[in-house]
A and B are shown apart, each in its own frame.
Chain A
Amino acid sequence: MQLESMYQEIILDHYRHPHHKGLREPFDAEVRHVNPTCGDEIKLRVALKDAGGEPAVADVSYDALGCSISQASASVLTDLVIGKPVTEAMEISAAFLQLMHDREAEPDDEVLGDAVVFAGVAKYPMRIKCALLGWMAWKDATARALGSVNGSSASKEQT
């Protein structure tokens, strides 16, 4: 069996007991992303806060339908980014994307934490989209949240 290389125990744990699941208030942006090949979907909210002059991730909440890989990936994501400055969270996201697209890459535990266990998923090209569903939604929501924060401050300046 090669299955264990993909379905590491940490992934199965997150799947069975997802962290930070459920939609919460307040939030600055909400997105809905779909994997059109299987119909899996995630609704994800991002709340930002000011941390010493730079934006940081206050909360990520989500509601999702999907396979173990997509569910576990979203759960691990929330653990990794909540509380971090947005710039650092974006670096983690970039490292995860790299992990998915480069089979030979040596994952950096320092940056990726639990997410390194998804290295096995990269060996199954059809499942990479599953692992990325939550991350793409988070990136999108965060970009929108930053835009709306900047946008509202810009409009304040105008008035």
Chain B
Amino acid sequence: MTFDVARVRKDFPILDRTVRNDQPLVYLDSANTSQKPRQVIEAMTDFYERHNANIHRATHELGEEATQAYEGARIKVARFIGAADESEVIFTKNVSEAINLVAYAIGNATSGRLRLGEGDEVVISEMEHHSNIVPWQLLCQRTGARLRWFGVTPDGRLDTSSADDLINERTKILAITHQSNVLGTINPVSDLAARAHAVGAVVLVDAAQSVPHGLMDVASLGADFVGFTAHKMVGPTGIGVLWGRRELLETLPPFLGGGEMIETVAMERSTYAPPPHKFEAGTMPIAQAVGLGAAIDYLTEVDLAAVRAHEHALVSRALEALGEIDGLRILGPTEPVNRGSAISFELADVHPHDVSQVLDDGGIAVRAGHHCAWPLHRALGVQSSTRASFYLYNTLDEVDALAAGIRTAQKFFRVD
């Protein structure tokens, strides 16, 4: 099946608008947040206009419809990622909350396999987004456990040479990214998960950058927890997902206490609802769940295998075009193998803020800075970088516009 990018673009109303003096928008910041198709926007509008009510608590017809819409989205998510059962799908605010949920719930464990204390180790990597670093630092500070991490190789791959030392009988948690938000690197998560399981550790995977491209089958991945977020996969902001293995979710203590997460409440103590509701305290982002469901329908309908082939063509062209620019250094893999469609780079003598400002002047939206991965930038010896990221609605012409824009920046700052 051929992928018709022109048809896809028609689904995204924002791609029609112009920016900075009536120029067409070239949106290359989807790893930051993706744009939303009309189908998602309309599903949310329809929910608010016709079905809005609170879920699980309301006994009227609207309440039934809202509950069905919300729980229907959970089923769609479960199918999309290959979960055994929809009760393994917990809705959160975003990936940060998904990871914090696990970290705080483990911190609340007073006994059993999940209890953490001095002598235990938590293993992450230098490639992580801050959201997969800081929650573990906080957990280690609270429990006395030790935080350790994988380094990165100079070419931006995970340095697994120290895996035998890092993953040992003291390891309780391995938390690692599936695909780097900066480098695009796709990590050998299944291998590492098998090692971690061999020593009895639990494994969390930050899949914020991989799930949007349909790269998730939790059954074969081998992780115990997987976090991702709707807004990077053509869905709305305000809702993320934590998938967890049923048996772990059953033993894991709650994180947030409140409405709808309980079974019984007395003044002295409470008992909790079974998962997933044990982890969904308070009124949840209902319309956002509906939007996420519509996003999954959309991605399924356009055929994700075709999308990935299209993205592969985009990133191949971009790696080639950017590689030809003097003074430009791509951070991370320069071959389109085991890498996603985000490309970060540094440009000699032009700061990323200045690069992105010149690109923006031409209507090209990219991200500049450390992309919430400060330790990774330090490890690679760069202060910050410019990142272009591609998604299903981008075109080869936009890749060429990016390369031309970078050359304009060099001319403007006279480093050509």
A145 at the interface (CB under 8 A from B): no
B85 at the interface (CB under 8 A from A): no
Q: Which of B142-185 contact A (CB under 8 A)?
A: none
Q: Which of A52-79 contact B (CB under 8 A)?
A: 65-69
Residues of A within 8 A of B370 (CB): 38-39
Residues of A within 8 A of B384 (CB): 38-40
| Most chain A CB atoms below 10 A, which of B351, B368, B384 | B351
Docked-complex contact A3 and B353, CB < 8 angstroms: no
A37 at the interface (CB under 8 A from B): yes
A12-B413, A39-B374, A68-B413 in contact; A3/B351 too (CB < 8 A)?
Answer: no
Can you name the residue of chain B whose Cβ is closest to the Cβ of A38? Answer: B369
A127 at the interface (CB under 8 A from B): yes
Docked-complex contact B352 and A67, CB < 8 angstroms: yes
Size class of the contact patch on chain A? 10 to 19
Total contacting residues, chain B, CB less than 8 A: 18
B324 at the interface (CB under 8 A from A): no
Residues of B within 8 A of A68 (CB): 351, 353-354, 413
B412 at the interface (CB under 8 A from A): yes
| Residue from B361, B369, B383 in contact with A2 in the complex, judged by beta carbons closer than 8 Å | B361
In the assembled complex, the CB of B181 is this many whole angstroms from the nearest CB of chain A, namely 15
Docked-complex contact B377 and A39, CB < 8 angstroms: yes
In the assembled complex, the CB of A2 is this many whole angstroms from the nearest CB of chain B, namely 6
B20 at the interface (CB under 8 A from A): yes
| Residue from A2, A12, A39, A127 in contact with B21 in the complex, judged by beta carbons closer than 8 Å | A2
A82 at the interface (CB under 8 A from B): no
Q: How far, in angstroms, from A18 to B354 measured CA to CA in the complex?
A: 17
A39-B370, A39-B374, A40-B383 in contact; A7/B412 too (CB < 8 A)?
Answer: yes
B330 at the interface (CB under 8 A from A): no
Q: How far, in angstroms, from A133 to B383 measured CA to CA in the complex?
A: 16
A6 at the interface (CB under 8 A from B): yes
B357 at the interface (CB under 8 A from A): yes
Q: How far, in angstroms, from A127 to B383 measured CA to CA in the complex?
A: 17
Q: How far, in angstroms, from A69 to B358 measured CA to CA in the complex?
A: 13
Residues of B within 8 A of A6 (CB): 357
Q: How far, in angstroms, from A40 to B368 measured CA to CA in the complex?
A: 11
Docked-complex contact A39 and B413, CB < 8 angstroms: no
Q: How far, in angstroms, from A65 to B381 measured CA to CA in the complex?
A: 13
Q: How far, in angstroms, from A68 to B412 measured CA to CA in the complex?
A: 12
| Residue from A3, A39, A69, A130 in contact with B412 in the complex, judged by beta carbons closer than 8 Å | A3
| Residue from A12, A39, A69, A124 in contact with B383 in the complex, judged by beta carbons closer than 8 Å | A39
Residues of B within 8 A of A38 (CB): 352-353, 368-370, 384
The 10 closest A-B pairs by CB, nearest first: A67-B351, A67-B353, A38-B369, A39-B370, A3-B361, A39-B384, A68-B354, A65-B383, A67-B354, A38-B384
